[in-house]
Structure 1
Amino acid sequence: MNREGNLYTFIFAIVMVVIVAFSLAFAATSLKPKQSENVKKEKMQNILGTIGIEVEREAAEEKYKNYIKEELSLVSDGSVDEQSVAFDVDLNKELKLPEDKQHYPLYIAEVEGKKYYVVPLRGAGLWNAIWGYIALEDDLNTIKGVSFDHAGETPGLGAEITQAWFQDSFKGKKIFDGQDELVGITVSKGSGTKGDNEVDAISGATITGDGVTDMVKERLLHYLPYFKKEKTQLALN
Structure 2
Amino acid sequence: MNKQSNGYTIIYASVMVVVVAAVLAFASLSLKPQQTKNVEIDKMKQILSSVNISSDATNAQDLYKKYIVDSYIIDKQGNKIEGNAFDVDVAAQVKLDPDKRELPVFVCRLDDGAEKYIFPMYGAGLWGPIWGYVSVDTDGDTIYGAFFAHQGETPGLGAEIEKPMFSDQYQGKHFFVDGDFKSVAVEKKGQKPVDGAEYVDAISGGTITSKGVQSMMQNSIAPYQNFLKSLKK
Question: Could you tell me how far apart the structure 2 residues matched to 1:189 and 1:98 are?
Answer: 30
CA contact (8 A) 1:174 1:185 kept: yes
Structure 1 residue 224 displacement after superposition: 1.0
Q: Which AA in structure 2 matches 1:185?
A: V
For the residue of structure 2 that corresponds to 1:57, the secondary structure is coil
Q: Which residue of 2 aligns with 1:100?
A: 99
Report the identity percentage. 42
For the residue of structure 2 that corresponds to 1:153, the secondary structure is coil
CA RMSD in angstroms comes to 2.0
CA contact (8 A) 1:41 1:58 kept: no
Q: How does 1:33-48 map to 2 (within 5 A)?
A: 33-48=33-48
Structure 1 residue 84 displacement after superposition: 1.4
Q: Which AA in structure 1 matches 2:183?
A: G
- Listed one character per residue, the Cα deviations across residues 149-201 of structure 1 (whole Å, up to 9, x for unaligned) are 12332233222222222222222222223x13222221111348999822121
Q: Which residue of 1 aligns with 2:74?
A: 74
Structure 1 residue 68 displacement after superposition: 1.0
Structure 1 residue 202 displacement after superposition: 1.3
CA contact (8 A) 1:127 1:152 kept: yes
Q: Which residue of 2 aligns with 1:224?
A: 225
Question: Could you tell me how far apart the structure 2 residues matched to 1:95 and 1:202 are?
Answer: 24
Structure 1 residue 80 displacement after superposition: 0.7
Q: Which residue of 2 aligns with 1:145?
A: 145
Ranges in structure 2 where 5+ consecutive residues have no aligned partner: none
Classify 1:193/1:76 alpha carbon distance in 2 versus 1 (closer, same or farther; 3 Å): closer
Question: Could you tell me how far apart the structure 1 residues matched to 2:166 and 2:216 are?
Answer: 16
What count of residue pairs does the alignment treat as equivalent?
230
Q: What is the TM-score normalised by the length of structure 1?
A: 0.89
36-45 vs 154-163, which deviates more?
Answer: 154-163
After TM superposition, what 4+ stretches of structure 1 lie above 4 angstroms from structure 2? 191-196
- Listed one character per residue, the Cα deviations across residues 191-218 of structure 1 (whole Å, up to 9, x for unaligned) are 4899982212112221111110011122
Structure 1 residue 99 displacement after superposition: 2.2
100-109 vs 197-206, which deviates more?
Answer: 197-206
Q: Which residue of 1 aligns with 2:135?
A: 135
- Answering whether residue 86 of structure 2 is matched by residue 87 of structure 1, we say yes
Structure 1 residue 67 displacement after superposition: 0.8
Question: Could you tell me how far apart the structure 1 residues matched to 2:216 and 2:187 are?
Answer: 14
CA contact (8 A) 1:124 1:130 kept: yes
- Answering whether residue 202 of structure 2 is matched by residue 201 of structure 1, we say yes
CA contact (8 A) 2:182 2:197 kept: no
Structure 1 residue 62 displacement after superposition: 1.6
Q: Which residue of 1 aligns with 2:165?
A: 165
